[in-house]
């Protein structure tokens, strides 16, 4: 999932962006980023499809705020090198952990979030010093349309990832059911960046794994190392667009390639920008604008030729669509991050293919959340609110994230069956097109 970044808080400060951000993400709101958003499927594919609305998640300079982000609690590594297999889904890395009879649990790592989110069930199972109470402290978060929502604040007594154990973790409580329905697997939480403050965190996208080491580890790390620009452990780095410098957040909780705030940059486009997916947040939806830059983007010495970007009025951010090319190591003790990949050749962004529709999902049907203007889906008469029951003749319950993503990437057209009153309509073929060539 683009995020809502830098929203004004009640005390006049700037929020730290919890999508995100879709995303989801008492504690004063100035300590947290407003939720990010996760893009809804079918709108933007690898061309990545987008994920649904959730906090911190879709779609988020380091934001000034008055207090330090919450400390992660006690961190214990029973091994000097903890290697955690990760599941790659779209442009996200998902961790699976089992430390009790109720697991396994699945978590998404979001380096763009200043807080960890967990489900109500997990919060009740392992209550920390600040227990989860429906009537307890709540954090105010702002959605894409400016609407404010509130999430309960609590702490988690323990969270175990393999040989790594985190205790008394500050969290917000969020029902991850929409994200779970979208991805087709149960998601139990989103792990924010401060959780890993006492470790050296490596996101190995090509190797589909996450590596944790003690914070004081001094072993050399291959690649190019750059400094964070913020003393509060937010992974904000300087990147270069053509001959101009800008600051961008490293945001593994976004499936975008790059979210660009164009203010004062006057970027040149090879295509677009044009209207894209409907991007959802916990409190509202907004229309994406997407295009292909005519200029290169340089990140830690790595060149992206004519990258696809989402335009945002928030902070520019490096999403999973770019991070997936790297092994990224975060050293919060020394405020630095290292990018490594085997090749030094420029990276090209492939075309973004789309069916022209965005959905919110349930097991029984997919509800059309948005239709891209001037798309084949719009010409076919598909409208927001329509309910899809079958895709290519199969019930939507059989179409998980990966399978639908593969279909968008390879098919020439998709046949959608809609619910029409008490019966199903005839299948309606919709051509797949290049949203951004």
Give residue 7's pLDDT. Answer: 33
Ordered by start, the domain boundaries in the chain are 1-350, 352-436
CA dist., res. 21 & res. 166, Å (int):
24
- Taking CA atoms, 426 is separated from 42, 99, 384, 429, in Å, by 21, 48, 18, 10
Strand partners, 212: 82, 201
Eight-class DSSP state of 10: T
Q: Tell me the pLDDT tens digit for each residue of 250-290.
A: 999 988 999 999 999 999 999 999 988 876 655 456 778 99
Give residue 19's pLDDT. Answer: 30
What's the pTM?
A: 0.82
- Share the mean pLDDT of the chain: 81
Give residue 389's pLDDT. Answer: 95
CA dist., res. 34 & res. 21, Å (int):
6
pLDDT grade for 136, boundaries at 50, 70 and 90? confident
Segment among 6-15, 261-270, 296-305, 396-405 with least mean pLDDT? 6-15
pLDDT grade for 58, boundaries at 50, 70 and 90? very low
| Residue 128 scores a pLDDT above 90 | no
CB count within 10 Å of CB 248 equals 25
CB count within 10 Å of CB 406 equals 12
Segment among 39-53, 228-242, 312-326, 421-435 with least mean pLDDT? 39-53
Give residue 36's pLDDT. Answer: 46
| Residue 101 scores a pLDDT above 60 | yes
| Residue 100 scores a pLDDT above 60 | yes
Which residues, in sequence order, are CB contacts of 283 under 8 Å at separation 6+?
35, 141, 142, 143, 144, 145, 147, 148, 149
pLDDT grade for 146, boundaries at 50, 70 and 90? low
Which residues, in sequence order, are CB contacts of 174 under 8 Å at separation 6+?
24, 25, 54, 55, 117, 118, 119, 151, 190, 282
Give residue 103's pLDDT. Answer: 87
CA dist., res. 102 & res. 65, Å (int):
37
Cβ neighbourhood burial of 62 (10 Å; 0-12, 13-18, 19+): buried
| Residue 132 scores a pLDDT above 90 | no
Q: What is the mean pLDDT of residues 76-93?
A: 92
Strand partners, 218: none
Query: Degrees (nearest 5) of the Cα angle 75, 81, 85?
Result: 95
Contact present, 137 and 148 (Cβ < 8 Å) = no
pLDDT grade for 415, boundaries at 50, 70 and 90? very high
Q: 74-77 long-range contacts, Cβ below 8 Å, gap at least 24?
A: 74/166, 74/167, 74/168, 75/164, 75/165, 75/166, 75/167, 75/197, 75/198, 75/199, 76/164, 76/165, 76/166, 76/167, 77/163, 77/164, 77/165, 77/199, 77/212, 77/213, 77/214
CATH class in words for 1-350 = mainly beta
Give residue 231's pLDDT. Answer: 59
| Residue 234 scores a pLDDT above 60 | yes
| Number of helical (H) and strand (E) elements in the chain, helices listed first | 5, 34
What phi and psi, each to the nearest 5 degrees, are found at residue 398?
Answer: -85, -5
**Alpha helices, H only, 324-413:** 376-379, 401-410
Contact present, 360 and 367 (Cβ < 8 Å) = yes
Mark residue 86 as left, alpha or beta (left: phi above 0; alpha: psi -120 to 50; beta: remaining): beta
Superfamily grouping for domain 352-436: PDZ domain (2.30.42.10)
Give residue 359's pLDDT. Answer: 87
Which residues, in sequence order, are CB contacts of 163 under 8 Å at separation 6+?
77, 78, 79, 82
Give residue 63's pLDDT. Answer: 29
Give residue 49's pLDDT. Answer: 25
Q: What share of the chain is helix, strand, coil (3-state, %, to 5)?
A: 10, 45, 50
pLDDT grade for 363, boundaries at 50, 70 and 90? confident
DSSP letters, 34-59, are PBB-EEPTTSS-TT-----S-SS---
Report the largest interatomic distance among the alpha carbons of the chain, rounded to a whole angstrom: 65
Give residue 108's pLDDT. Answer: 95
Contact present, 41 and 400 (Cβ < 8 Å) = no
SS3 of residue 424 by DSSP: strand
CA dist., res. 429 & res. 41, Å (int):
18
Give residue 35's pLDDT. Answer: 43
Tell me the residue ranges of DSSP E strands in 31-118: 38-39, 74-77, 82-89, 92-97, 105-110, 116-118
Mark residue 134 as left, alpha or beta (left: phi above 0; alpha: psi -120 to 50; beta: remaining): alpha
CA dist., res. 168 & res. 171, Å (int):
9
To which residue do tokens 């009537």 refer?
135
């Amino acid at each position: 999932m683009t995020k809502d970044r830098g929203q004004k808080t009640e005390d006049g400060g700037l929020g730290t962006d919890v999508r995100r951000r879709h995303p989801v993400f008492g504690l004063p709101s100035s300590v947290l980023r407003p939720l990010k958003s996760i893009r809804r499927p079918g709108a933007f594919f690898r061309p990545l499809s987008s994920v649904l609305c959730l906090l911190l998640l879709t779609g988020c300079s380091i934001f000034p705020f008055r207090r330090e982000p919450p400390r992660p609690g006690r961190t214990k590594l029973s091994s000097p090198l903890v290697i955690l297999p990760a599941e790659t889904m779209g442009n996200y890395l998902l961790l699976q952990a089992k430390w009790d009879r109720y697991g396994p649990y699945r978590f998404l790592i979001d380096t763009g979030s200043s807080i960890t989110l967990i489900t109500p069930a997990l919060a009740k199972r392992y209550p920390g010093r600040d227990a989860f109470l429906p009537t307890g402290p709540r954090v105010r978060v702002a959605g894409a349309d400016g609407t404010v929502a509130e999430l309960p604040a609590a702490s988690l007594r323990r969270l175990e990832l393999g040989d790594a154990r985190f205790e008394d973790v500050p969290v917000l409580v969020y029902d991850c059911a929409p994200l779970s329905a979208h991805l087709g697997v149960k998601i139990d939480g989103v792990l924010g960046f401060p959780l890993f403050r006492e470790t050296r965190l490596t996101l190995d996208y090509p190797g589909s794994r996450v590596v944790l080491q003690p914070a004081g580890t001094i072993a050399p790390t291959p690649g190019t190392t750059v400094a964070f620009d913020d003393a509060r452990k937010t992974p904000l780095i300087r990147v270069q667009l053509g001959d101009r410098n800008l600051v961008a957040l490293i945001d593994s909780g976004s499936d975008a390639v790059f979210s660009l705030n164009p203010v004062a940059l006057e970027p040149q486009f090879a295509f677009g920008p044009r209207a894209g997916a409907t991007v959802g947040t916990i409190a509202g939806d907004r229309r994406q604008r997407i295009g292909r830059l005519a200029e290169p983007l340089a990140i830690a010495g790595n060149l992206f030729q004519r990258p696809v970007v989402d335009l945002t009025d928030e902070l520019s951010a490096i999403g999973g669509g770019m991070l997936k090319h790297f092994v990224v190591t975060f050293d919060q003790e020394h405020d630095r991050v290292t990018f490594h990949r085997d090749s030094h050749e420029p990276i090209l962004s492939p075309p973004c293919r789309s069916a022209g529709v965005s959905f919110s999902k349930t097991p029984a049907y997919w509800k059309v959340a948005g239709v891209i203007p001037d798309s084949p889906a719009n010409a076919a008469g598909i409208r927001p609110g329509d309910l899809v029951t079958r895709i290519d003749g199969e019930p939507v319950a059989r179409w998980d994230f990966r399978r639908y993503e593969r279909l968008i990437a390879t098919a020439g057209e998709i046949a959608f069956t809609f619910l029409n009153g008490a019966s199903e309509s005839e299948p309606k073929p919709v051509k797949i097109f290049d949203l951004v060539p």
